[in-house]
Structure 1
Amino acid sequence: MYKILLFIFISFTTVHLYAQNGGKGKITGKVIDAVTKQPVDYATISIFKQGSDSPFNGMSTDEKGNFSIAGIAPGDYRVTADFIGYKKFVIAHVIVKDGGAADVGTINLEPNQNQLKGVNIVAKAPIVENRIDKMVYNAQNDLTSQSGAAIDVLRKVPQVTVDIDGNVELQGNANIRFLINGKPSSIFGASLADALQAIPANQIKNIEVITSPGAKYDAAGTGGIINIVLKDSKVSGVNGSINLTAGTRQENGSFNLNARKGNFGVNAFFSGRAQLNTTALNTNDRTTTLPNGDMTHLLQTGSADTKRSGYQSGLSFNWSITPKDDLTASIGFDHFGNNSSGLTNQEQSLMSGATGNIVSDILSLRNSSSKFSANSVDYSLDYKKRFSKEGQELDVLFTSSNGKNTNSYTQELDYLNLNSPATGARGNNPGNDRQINISIDYTHPVTKTFNIETGAKAIIEKLTNVTNTDSLLADGSYVNNAGQSFAFNYKRNIYAVYAAASTSLFKNFLDVKVGLRNEYTKTSADFPGTVIPDYNTLAPSAVVSHKLNALETIKLSYSFRIERPEYQDVNPFFNISDPNNISTGNPNLKPEKSNAFELAYSRSFDSGANFNIGGFYRHNIDDLSQFTTPYAVLDVNGREYTNVLLTQRSNLGTQTSIGSNIFASVPVTKKLNLRTNIFLIHRENNVVDPNNDQNNLDVKAFQYRLNLNTSYQFGNNFMAEAFVNYNSSTRTLQGNRPKFFFYNFAVRKQFWNKNASIGLAATNPFSNYINQYSTTKGPTFNQSSLRQLPFQSFGITLSYKFGKLEFAKDKNKEDRDNGGDQLQHDPGAGGGR
């Protein structure tokens, strides 16, 4: 039924839009730097009626400098192109004909070398931009997140859900491909939550959310792609910024330096973050029914202290060899880690199923600690060639990412009411991760409205891991446990080719892009009894978009994607830091496959308000999810552990998700702005129990997320902002996931001509802890857990921008509109000046 309704809706909308836009044309073109010949993204394109000083329409250029503004009535217009640090470019006359397209060609913006001071930014990009293939969240315009980390910014991004532990979902799916500046990094391979908490928020320019990636993107990640774009600068001169934050729970700082002269530019940055020691309280209550009818009861209460730290640094060089040849090289160093230690009181009871009497009652105290450290180095070399034909490009990219990670733990169990020696273990788990990516992409414009893209890519991954485990003896010494000490080597090569085509149909009524990607995966692991078969993946994609006018867009997209089991999912290492709750990998996992459809509508208003609504449908096969199995006795390489829950990822049948996302930003007044985001999802899992294929489950769950952001400009460069977020609880395959509510406030004062600022921020200022209550259960066990996590924090942020060339637009809007280079232009002449 929903498919029929969707078809009726699309058909009705298409007819309505065609009737609404009949007889209107559009204005297209491209903006480049007159010196470097590189595209200028985010340049402002404004359209004026002749004789008017105020634009009635416009947009920002995309990452390739292109723009296309539809829904323009026939007539004679004035078009301007403007960007920070460049002279405004004016085309005095652009003729739009009935139903036609006026192509203004290539606009060459000249750097404004003499504009050194007395500047003022009078416009900025909206907080959320909805483009044909992605949604962009401009984090540098977000006030309340600036004292935090990347994970805090993600909590505000539409369609993204983050729980209190830093686990991220995109449209309700945790299988996400994370990139930094469009490139993969081994920093995400070791611990995603730690990596996202090591990137300071004030280092982030924007976050791109790609829910329906095209053929050019890797097919991995059934949830989609999240690209974290770090700050940089493309203007001439020397400039930079310094940001420092001191707080009660976390501290961070960053430094950026940019230098560019002529055809050569350098960018350097360093950022670091530390989470101060925090103490979390834990209670775990479990009841298990044994095969003979007896019951066990485990009660654990305790606390754990945790500290985190990390830093990122990088250096990049850009050389415009010729006006059509660019070479960019970069190197980055990253580190993050955490330390945790705690005490847990335990009571284990055994009750007779026949009489209900307590057979045994054991009291114990567990002392545990863990340490994790990750270091990575990333290299990249990018060569871009532009040909004489407009839009024809060749891009060759080489990236290499090398990571060294160490995970270690100790745990000791002392019995309080038994005359028994203490038991325990310690483990050390060092590993190396290397990934090489080589890609070639080529774009060829066949006509002005028909483009072909093609390319190839090779991904070479090699991961090595050594596990050393020692057991505690009665005399307090340790001896190596040969059964739990081993080496695990893992290799995976992925070879891909793709082709895509984009065009406009029905007299520019529809913009269409279709593509097909083929990926061949070859995997090997040297674990005994493990054979991972090679497999081939065909991943089609398509997107259809229509602009009702310059302010309204509707699009429909489809993509096929897969989720390959990652190294940590297949590593057979047993984590026994808590002997009653053990986790391990599964070397026999298969890739998850997904078909996803998405329908989205966006609308902007002259007042500055914008509105986005989207719906999606996704169906996963061989769904990868965590599954917990109870064991009265679990044998781990010759050693027995009692009353254990073993957790590992498995292929658990199918998952179907239907959801929607609503985003709105409304400037109530010139000073007050309100922003809200609502996310709704319904999931249904048809689960096949990996331990008993006769025990199938049908699990249905509903989840929602609501947030509200309000900001107010008081004048004199003083601003305040508040943010409230609520994630609902939801049913999982074997229990429930807890709700999550938090709120924060921030104020900022800018001074020294907006080159410096001071800010104050507070998160959950009226409550010390967030209570997280969850359950896990199965046919023979029931477990409830309560975690009390410290989330309250207060902080102060200092920022300073420096540099003799800090470009911005002129103060006098009338001068902007009437100045610049005048050019009489006929739309049929082609080209730019």
Structure 2
Amino acid sequence: MKNLQKSVVLLFLLSAFAVFAQGNPGNTVKITGKLIEQDTKLPLEFATVTIQNTANVTINGAMTDANGEYSINVAPGIYNIKFDFISFKPTAILAKEITGNTNLGVTAMASDATMLNDVEIVAERSTVEIKLDKRVYSVGKDMMVKGGTVSDVLDNVPSVSVDAEGNVALRGNQSVTILIDGRPSSLAGSNVADVLRLLPADSVDKVEVITNPSARYDAEGGGGIVNIILKKGSANGFNGSVVASTGNPDNHGISANLNYRSENFNLFSNLGYNYRNSPGNSFTNTEYLNKDNTTRNFVNEKRISKRKQNGINASFGAEWFLDKTLTWTNSVSVRKNNGDNPTKTYFDNYDANHNYQSTRYRYNEEDEKDTNVRFSTNLIKKFDDKGHELKIDASVSKSMDDENAIINDITLGSPNLVNSNERTFNDEDENRALIQADYVLPLGENSRFEAGYRGSFTTMETDAKAEILNGGIWENNKNYSNFLQYKEKVNALYSQFGSKMGKFSYLFGLRWEDSNIDVNLLDSSNYNNKRYNNFFPSAFLTYEFNEGTSASISYSRRINRPRGRFLNPFSGLESNINIFRGNPDLDPSMTNAIDIGFLKKWSKVTLSSSAYMNITDDTFQFIRRATGDFAVQQVGGLDTTDPQGNVTIVDGEDIKTPIILTTPVNLAKEYRFGFEFNVNYTPFKWWRINSNFNFYRNETKGDYTFTYVDGKGNTINDFINLNRTAYSWTTRVNSKISLPLKIDWQLNGNYEAPQNTAQGKRIGVASANTSLSKDILKDKATIGINVQDIFNSRKMKNETYLPGELRSHSEMQWRQRQVTVSFTYRFNMNKNDKQKQQKEQQDNGGDEFMGG
């Protein structure tokens, strides 16, 4: 408590110092104003304002803030004031006499349209807006993701990558928090990758990437935050759009984004249906070793899957403008999906000399039902038009996810045809409640104080069962059965103060979170409570050298709590020799993050670069290890021998293959250092290029000790040294060209370089996507075609070496090459309608909700 009091006092003193530090330089006056878009009346952020004398020599300049406002100090005189923003017509106020503090009011900038060879090429905002504290990716104009899922959206966002299993990483770091409309959206218990694959891309408006969040944001996520903001309506009257798509492999869907807005209220909805078949494949070729590293035997495992999904998504909401200062918003969303995932797995067995012995065939027929319902409410009170406001948010949600599977295990060509019949049940229920309050108080023209509270309360129960058929009776397999109860209560308080003094600005914040977490395995009466509270300070310093050049340095402390798949001991049994199992004893990891950024804007090029360093305690690391258990294959009458006399062969008939477990563990330390470049280049009005390059060095320090019983009944104490240093890099280039006849062509390429891991290495992967679109019906409709993974090369490839256990090479392709055709029809709006909400609606779109 004393530390909290000291921190509050310190924050107050810093705030007081900053307030008294404000002042107006002598012999200068202040020019202020605001820039907006002419069509939508939305503020233009990061537009350039240049002050020149009558000889057109630049005297001073600035960039507009998030509200489109600017403030520039100059000496009294006569000036030309010029306004510039990429893809908008330049605007100027000429020969303006400035004798004292002057407010130029609101200036509207119009979009730039050019006629070229009788083809109308309409300039529009770049799909990627680069800001100092985050990057905003506008999805609505990206053809590449039409007919896809949110996973496809994220995989096209700079700094973000999605691997073949659907795991999301930010700058190569998978300790990232994924939010939907600023809320976890029932992701704590569910596999995040699965949820992102269920949501259609057409429901997404934009994606915000926050690499180093301040104290006002949730402290969760050591690698940063990715916030997915869903579409809502904007324009007055009734308007909207409908998107229909079809593809091969089966990818059929239809969605509608509808909106009605009047002076007193706004109604919005998003409806969608989709049917998808995502065939995938994988293989793991393993050489099993004796303790002296000589070869014991070989097993080649090949898996073929067909993931079929039927899903509906519906959301309805209403904004009520009670008066000019008070807005109340309520919304309900429902997501329901049914899935069928038949998986065929083949195990080819070879002896130590690689002579073929037998083949096992394992068929897993899985059915899945997933339902999510959420209600959200939001109240915004604006005390004035200068940013003094109070926001209160609350939401409740319920998720139900049921997965059932029947598994047949057969030895092909053996008289004893059926080895085993198994079935699994995995029923998961989650209830979540969130409440939050955020208060903003401007202090003078250039300072702001913020404070807030956030409470997050989650209960998740997973009932997992595995049964094996024995003599016509289903018997429980206790090795793969458990009832997991997860309860999480997190209460948070935060406060921060920011100010701008000329070209220098700063933001200091402090967050306090109290965590009370129960991880209970009820079947084994294993109860584990983890109660801890932590301070999360943050500091941001920014200096603007001129109107297009600025630098920043920031620091924050973050936490990464293990959830869902990381904790749950239950594992699917598609394979019974390569098993994944969660670890309920995982502790949270803590990260100290430092980021140094530089932003430079030229007429056609925007460069955003950063150097970053993350130091993490108790980081999560996936390890593969022996369990001492074996999967038995009945070979029957086949004459097999083990030339080395190992436990692989029993009585010349049964082949026993070691079961290898993959599980997450806590390590002592992780040091991650890297640098990143993001470049937006517009060589011509009809051609846009954006690219991203990220290089990083990752060093881990730690070891893992474990015990198991081998096939001879001996207790084995084993040790894995996880110390390593790895270098890797990723790059992405996206090109969009406007061709004649109103045709747009988009092409992007991705490459993930090789990387050493604690127990082997990840092999580099290159992939490419492309799309074409054409406007028809007087620009009211667009038809498009896109190809995901042109060369069918997007695969996760790994090599693993465990001395005295195994060497393996694995490749996994979640989804094969996909071709999709889409048709979009817009009514009561045109292609360049921003479909954005007014400023107060944007605040409710999820951006601000993350704060408390």
Q: Same fold (TM over 0.5)?
A: yes
CA contact 2:244–2:253 (8 Å) conserved in 1: yes
Kindly provide the amino acid, as one letter, of the partner of residue 230 in structure 1: L
Q: CA deviation at 1:649?
A: 1.1
- List aligned pairs for 1:163-202, cutoff 5 A: 163-186=163-186, 189-202=189-202
Whether 1:213 and 2:228 are equivalent positions in the alignment is no
Deviations 1:521-572 (A, max 9, x none): 0011332234232011111111111222222221111110010011332223
CA contact 1:237–1:805 (8 Å) conserved in 2: no
Aligned to 1:440: 437
Q: CA deviation at 1:624?
A: 0.9
Q: CA deviation at 1:782?
A: 1.7
Q: CA deviation at 1:679?
A: 1.4
Q: TM-score if structure 1 supplies the norm length? A: 0.82
1:441 and 1:243 mapped to 2: Cα distance?
A: 36
* Larger displacement relative to structure 2 (645-654 or 407-416): 407-416
Instruction: Identify unmatched segments of 5+ residues in structure 2.
Output: 1-24, 110-119, 633-654, 707-716, 835-852
Q: TM-score if structure 2 supplies the norm length? A: 0.80
How many residue pairs end up in the alignment?
755
Aligned to 1:626: 622
Helix, strand or coil for the counterpart of 1:194? Answer: helix
Kindly provide the amino acid, as one letter, of the partner of residue 172 in structure 2: G
Q: CA deviation at 1:76?
A: 4.0
2:748 and 2:27 mapped to 1: Cα distance?
A: 44
Whether 1:782 and 2:820 are equivalent positions in the alignment is no
Q: CA deviation at 1:712?
A: 2.0
- List aligned pairs for 1:330-479, cutoff 5 A: 330-336=331-337, 338-348=339-349, 363-388=359-384, 390-416=386-412, 417=414, 419=416, 422-475=419-472, 477-479=473-475
Helix, strand or coil for the counterpart of 1:531? Answer: strand
Aligned to 1:573: 570
Q: CA deviation at 1:412?
A: 2.2
Deviations 1:49-95 (A, max 9, x none): 7999x999886662xx35336697875456889999xxx99999977
CA contact 2:345–2:574 (8 Å) conserved in 1: no
CA contact 2:121–2:742 (8 Å) conserved in 1: no
Aligned to 1:15: none
Whether 1:533 and 2:534 are equivalent positions in the alignment is no
Aligned to 2:261: 260
Deviations 1:318-357 (A, max 9, x none): 1111111111111111234543223333244676xxxx99
Kindly provide the amino acid, as one letter, of the partner of residue 214 in structure 1: S
2:769 and 2:74 mapped to 1: Cα distance?
A: 43
Distance 1:569 1:101, change over 3 A: farther
Distance 1:326 1:92, change over 3 A: farther
Distance 1:480 1:243, change over 3 A: same
Whether 1:676 and 2:676 are equivalent positions in the alignment is no
Deviations 1:621-657 (A, max 9, x none): 1001211111232799xxx995111111110221111
Deviations 1:557-606 (A, max 9, x none): 11100100113322232433321112222111110110111111112222
Distance 1:446 1:430, change over 3 A: same
- List aligned pairs for 1:641-660, cutoff 5 A: 643-660=658-675
1:24 and 1:610 mapped to 2: Cα distance?
A: 31
Q: CA deviation at 1:672?
A: 2.7
Whether 1:732 and 2:757 are equivalent positions in the alignment is yes
Kindly provide the amino acid, as one letter, of the partner of residue 773 in structure 2: R
Aligned to 1:544: 541
- List aligned pairs for 1:25-36, cutoff 5 A: 28=32
Aligned to 2:505: 511
What is the RMSD of the two structures over their aligned residues, measured on CA atoms?
3.9
CA contact 2:722–2:759 (8 Å) conserved in 1: no
Q: CA deviation at 1:802?
A: 0.4
Kindly provide the amino acid, as one letter, of the partner of residue 687 in structure 1: G
Deviations 1:437-466 (A, max 9, x none): 111111111222221100111111001121
1:398 and 1:561 mapped to 2: Cα distance?
A: 24
* Larger displacement relative to structure 2 (728-737 or 478-487): 478-487
Question: Sequence identity of aligned pairs in percent?
Answer: 24
Q: CA deviation at 1:217?
A: 0.9
Helix, strand or coil for the counterpart of 2:202? Answer: helix
CA contact 2:46–2:68 (8 Å) conserved in 1: no
Aligned to 2:723: 698
Q: CA deviation at 1:488?
A: 2.2
2:216 and 2:678 mapped to 1: Cα distance?
A: 28
Distance 1:582 1:27, change over 3 A: farther
Aligned to 2:748: 723
* Larger displacement relative to structure 2 (737-746 or 286-295): 286-295
Distance 1:771 1:211, change over 3 A: closer
2:547 and 2:101 mapped to 1: Cα distance?
A: 14
Deviations 1:184-235 (A, max 9, x none): 2015741222222233333322210001111111111101110112222322
CA contact 2:597–2:611 (8 Å) conserved in 1: yes
CA contact 2:266–2:319 (8 Å) conserved in 1: yes
CA contact 2:45–2:68 (8 Å) conserved in 1: no
Whether 1:162 and 2:162 are equivalent positions in the alignment is yes
Aligned to 1:67: 69
Deviations 1:221-279 (A, max 9, x none): 10111011222232211110011221113333320111011020010111344332525
CA contact 2:297–2:354 (8 Å) conserved in 1: no
Aligned to 1:665: 680
Aligned to 2:141: 141
1:323 and 1:806 mapped to 2: Cα distance?
A: 30
Aligned to 1:564: 561
Decide which of 588, 612, 618 is 1:616's aligned counterpart: 612
CA contact 1:178–1:188 (8 Å) conserved in 2: no
Instruction: Identify unmatched segments of 5+ residues in structure 1.
Output: 1-20, 111-119, 810-833
Deviations 1:114-172 (A, max 9, x none): xxxxxx99553222222232111222232323343222222222211222232210021
CA contact 1:395–1:440 (8 Å) conserved in 2: yes
2:98 and 2:760 mapped to 1: Cα distance?
A: 61
Kindly provide the amino acid, as one letter, of the partner of residue 67 in structure 1: E
* Larger displacement relative to structure 2 (134-143 or 650-659): 134-143
CA contact 1:47–1:55 (8 Å) conserved in 2: no
2:102 and 2:811 mapped to 1: Cα distance?
A: 63
Whether 1:713 and 2:714 are equivalent positions in the alignment is no
1:271 and 1:414 mapped to 2: Cα distance?
A: 41
Deviations 1:711-765 (A, max 9, x none): 2222342222221111122222212223222212222211333221111222344
Kindly provide the amino acid, as one letter, of the partner of residue 740 in structure 1: V
1:564 and 1:179 mapped to 2: Cα distance?
A: 15
Q: CA deviation at 1:40?
A: 4.2
Aligned to 1:18: none
CA contact 1:758–1:798 (8 Å) conserved in 2: yes
Aligned to 2:288: 287
Helix, strand or coil for the counterpart of 2:722? Answer: strand
Kindly provide the amino acid, as one letter, of the partner of residue 484 in structure 2: F
Decide which of 574, 597, 612 is 2:594's aligned counterpart: 597
Kindly provide the amino acid, as one letter, of the partner of residue 393 in structure 1: E
Distance 1:186 1:532, change over 3 A: same
Aligned to 2:313: 312
Kindly provide the amino acid, as one letter, of the partner of residue 802 in structure 2: G
2:810 and 2:53 mapped to 1: Cα distance?
A: 69
1:344 and 1:246 mapped to 2: Cα distance?
A: 29
* Larger displacement relative to structure 2 (486-495 or 408-417): 408-417
